[in-house]
């Protein structure tokens, strides 16, 4: 192996390198183009004197990616259960198996018994309907924003959407709900104030131009103090009282956001689809990759006639989910509890025991590690302000960068001058992988050594 600064040499020809027996299997698995790109990079290192010509094939094999996709697996030790930057909910083993089965040709739109065309996603939608019996109809689109987009387009394009000023939210990456609604051709009719909205505000706004009343669960923030709002049941009463005057019942659409389908005892303030429907919501929109623990999807649940209206709208075709999403969604709904549920319900005593065992193992290997109390969060806009008691392994702050550069990459958080590996967001079966990743990332330097 050449060393930096050594004399540059002429690399072997590309076709000769690609013909090496060691690269036959990588070309089959990764594709010739990707392997050729890697060869080109190594050849350039030969020219700069970093690699000896005789070492090119060995260096290519060593630097080839694990797969043809650039996404890298990451161990989530942030303590945020639904980390948007890390893909939100990790899928269950059942959902991963379903993805693999659906990757080939499937009966996604074929009735095998008759040989005729079948309803797309029928089994996944049946599973969703079974999970929320209060919904007369269900539909899945490609994400939560798409669900709201479809609802506003089908129900209120060219008309008004009545919404509280306190619910005109902005979420990640500058995405603003008012902009999404306005893009459908609907007109926003804001009522109330930032901190207080009353039933009369909604009642005064309802008129012939009202397409729907929208209630949005605020994501990533909590308004406290001198506040007032109108719950779903109150909104339902308002539109019922206005129905005689308007000659119709204006639909109440509730964007719960977080994907909670039914009440959960650990999340008493988090809205769920079943409760919203029982309280009088005509339509509920939600996400599939948050507290439901499934793939990215937008869920629409509610009155059968409204859901059918949305299903038949031309935009629904552009927003429909693919066979992989349908497979993973059905497996999430029918299969065992997904990882996000296990992380949410993990006992803090078990988390402390895991943190102590890992800290002791790392300390025995010379790492400056200690088990410490921690606080985790739901993330993904769910349960804002709720702190979940947790436990973490504390390392020197400089370890965070080394861990992100490792394989597998580990994403932690830096707090009060220390790098914290919060175990609530990491499955117990990944503890050993995390231990090895820490030792591997810190082996080359002294940043994490005692």
pLDDT value at residue 272: 95
pLDDT tens, position by position, 339-356: 999 999 999 999 999 999
In sequence order, the 6+-apart residues with CB closer than 8 A to the CB of 192 are 164, 165, 166, 198, 201
Residue 375, strand partner residues:
389
Q: Do domains 74-85+341-442 and 92-337 have the same CATH topology?
A: no
Report the chain's mean pLDDT, rounded to a whole number. Answer: 93
Burial 297-326 (b: 16+ CB within 10 A, else e): bbbbbbbeebbebbbebebbeebbbebbbb
Distances, alpha carbon 185 to alpha carbons 199, 235, 348, in Å? 26, 24, 49
258-262, 292-296, 301-305: which range is least confident on average?
Answer: 258-262
pLDDT tens, position by position, 387-406: 999 999 999 999 999 999 99
- Mean pLDDT confidence for 196-225: 89
Residue 327, strand partner residues:
none
**Global pTM?**
0.89
Q: Please state the length of the chain.
A: 450
SS (H, E, C) 173-193: HHCEHHHHHHHCCCEEEEECC
- Mean pLDDT confidence for 113-139: 96
Domain range 92-337, its CATH number among 1.20.120.530, 3.40.640.10, 3.50.50.60, 3.10.110.10 = 3.40.640.10
Please say if the pLDDT value at position 8 is more than 60.
Answer: yes
Work out the pLDDT band at 176, boundaries 50, 70, 90. Answer: confident
Q: Which fold has domain 74-85+341-442?
A: 3.90.1150
**Would you kindly state where each structural domain of the chain is located, as residue ranges?**
14-63, 74-85+341-442, 92-337
Q: What are phi and psi of 406, to 5 degrees?
A: -80, 180
Please say if the pLDDT value at position 89 is more than 90.
Answer: yes
The answer to whether the beta carbons of residues 291 and 259 sit under 8 Å apart is yes
Structure tokens at 239: 């539109």
| Cβ atoms within 10 Å, residue 54 | 12
- Mean pLDDT confidence for 253-270: 92
């Amino acid at each position: 192996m050449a060393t930096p600064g050594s004399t540059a040499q002429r690399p072997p020809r590309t076709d000769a390198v690609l013909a090496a027996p060691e690269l036959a299997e990588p070309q089959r698995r990764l594709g010739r183009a990707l392997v050729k790109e890697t060869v080109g990079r190594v050849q350039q290192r030969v020219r700069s004197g970093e690699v000896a010509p005789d070492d090119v094939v060995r260096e290519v094999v060593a630097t080839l990616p694990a797969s043809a996709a650039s996404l890298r697996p990451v161990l989530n030790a942030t303590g945020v259960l639904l980390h948007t930057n890390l893909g939100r909910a990790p899928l269950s083993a059942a959902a991963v198996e379903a993805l693999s089965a659906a990757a080939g040709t499937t009966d996604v739109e074929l009735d095998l018994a008759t040989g005729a065309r079948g309803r797309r996603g029928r089994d996944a939608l049946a599973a969703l309907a079974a999970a929320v019996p209060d919904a007369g109809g269900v539909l899945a689109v490609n994400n939560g924003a798409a669900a709201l987009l479809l609802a506003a387009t089908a129900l209120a394009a060219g008309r008004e959407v009545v919404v509280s000023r306190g619910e005109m939210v902005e979420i990640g990456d500058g995405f603003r709900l008012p902009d999404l609604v306005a893009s459908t051709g609907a007109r926003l009719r804001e009522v109330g104030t930032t901190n207080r909205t009353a039933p009369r505000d909604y009642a005064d706004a309802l008129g012939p131009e009202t397409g729907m009343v929208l209630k949005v669960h605020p994501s990533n923030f909590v308004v406290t103090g001198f506040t007032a709002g109108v719950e779903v049941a109150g909104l339902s009463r308002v539109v019922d009282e206005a129905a005689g005057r308007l000659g119709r019942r204006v639909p109440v659409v509730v964007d719960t956001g977080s994907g909670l389908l039914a009440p959960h005892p650990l999340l008493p303030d988090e809205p769920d689809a079943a409760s919203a429907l029982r309280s009088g919501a005509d339509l509920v929109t939600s996400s599939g990759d948050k507290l439901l623990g499934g793939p990215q999807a937008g869920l629409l649940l509610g009155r059968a006639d409204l859901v059918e209206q949305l299903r038949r709208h031309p935009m629904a075709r552009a927003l429909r989910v693919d066979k992989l999403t349908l497979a993973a969604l059905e497996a999430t709904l029918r299969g065992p509890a997904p990882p996000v549920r296990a992380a949410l319900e993990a006992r803090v005593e078990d988390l402390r025991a895991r943190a102590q065992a890992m800290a002791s193992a790392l300390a025995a290997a010379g790492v400056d590690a200690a088990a410490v109390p921690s606080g985790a969060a739901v993330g993904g806009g769910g349960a804002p302000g709720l702190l979940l008691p947790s436990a973490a392994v504390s390392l020197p702050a400089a370890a965070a960068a080394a861990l992100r550069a490792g394989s597998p990459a580990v994403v932690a958080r830096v707090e009060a001058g220390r790098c914290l590996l919060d175990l609530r967001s990491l499955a117990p079966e990944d503890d050993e992988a995390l231990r090895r990743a820490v030792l591997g990332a810190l082996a080359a330097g002294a940043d994490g050594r005692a």
